[in-house]
Amino acid sequence: MNFLELQYFFSTPKILLAPMAGVSDKVYRSMALDYGADLSYTEMVSATGLSYGSKETKSLLEPDAREQSLAVQLFGHDPQIMAREAQVVSDYLGDKLALIDVNMGCPVKKVIKKGEGSALLKEPKLAYEIIKAMTDAVDVAITAKIRMGFTHETENYLSFARMLEDAGLAAVGLHGRTTGQGYKGKADKSCVSKLADALSIPVIASGDVYTPEDVKEYIDLGASGVFFARGSYGNPFVFEQSHEYLTTGTYSPVSLEEKIEAAREHIRRAFDEGIHSGRMRKVCAWYLKGIPEANYWRSKSMHASTKEDFYQVFDELEAKLEEYSSWNK
């Protein structure tokens, strides 16, 4: 999508899978899309890693066969490298590339110490140069994901986002926490309304999005789209539920049987793609969260290593369906 096409895309509310390091691989993205996500984002991809020709870094760009379109999130601090690698990404993905997002919100120390992620909130001029260089280099829409500020005392998201808009930014994602907060405390949802009023480009809300009700609250505050991050863990259903809730004011609950079916499909796709069993232990633990005797089932999944091992956990759980019949998410 180019700039104008992205504006049209966000003319109706969009429910998105957020970029998450170590989580949003192509299987995770494909599950989200199959369950109603409007667009899914890659894990954050190092522009420097791409420039060095890292095969591991480039593998993060590989789309799933089911993905007709995907968003790529890049991070870095050098405008020239960011622009050059944006062109590399565009050439590699072609028509499958929806947009390129720039990570200006990651609070992780190893990212910040390199002047990347949310460290750019302290360098507005450099952030402007990055976006300007990228928009000059490629036709695809360039977006950014930011936080309220590096600290509460230095909150600058309004002026920062307006400046990026002047550089050609097509949309901005806002997480309602500062870098200093990390993921602690509550996200300030009111900042989304303030930013939406200040900009003419779409604002995508992020932070404490777990339910369809959270989505509607952000949309009512002026967001054009909403990111699901931790709220999607073991819960791909939340995308369809959110669309249903925005349309009808209600949404269908998810049965334990449906969760088992989704987990099995996630396992199948992951092993077909050669995804490490260690990651699948984490994913399966998310699917098992909140069910009856959850600790017992999570413990069993932590000892699984093969596809058959993981299937066995959910086969045994399925045998308990009648006993657990009163459970409903």
Q: Which residues are catalytic?
A: 106
User: How far apart, in whole angstroms, are the C-alpha atoms of residue 104 and residue 126?
Assistant: 11
Per the CB < 8 A criterion, the answer to whether 63 and 116 are in contact is no
User: How far apart, in whole angstroms, are the C-alpha atoms of residue 289 and residue 287?
Assistant: 6
Per the CB < 8 A criterion, the answer to whether 83 and 137 are in contact is yes
User: How far apart, in whole angstroms, are the C-alpha atoms of residue 258 and residue 242?
Assistant: 17
Per the CB < 8 A criterion, the answer to whether 313 and 301 are in contact is yes
User: How far apart, in whole angstroms, are the C-alpha atoms of residue 173 and residue 148?
Assistant: 11
Give the tokens for residue 290: 């909140």
Q: At what angle do helices 26-34 and 256-272 cross, to 10 degrees?
A: 140
Across the strands, what pairs with 39?
16
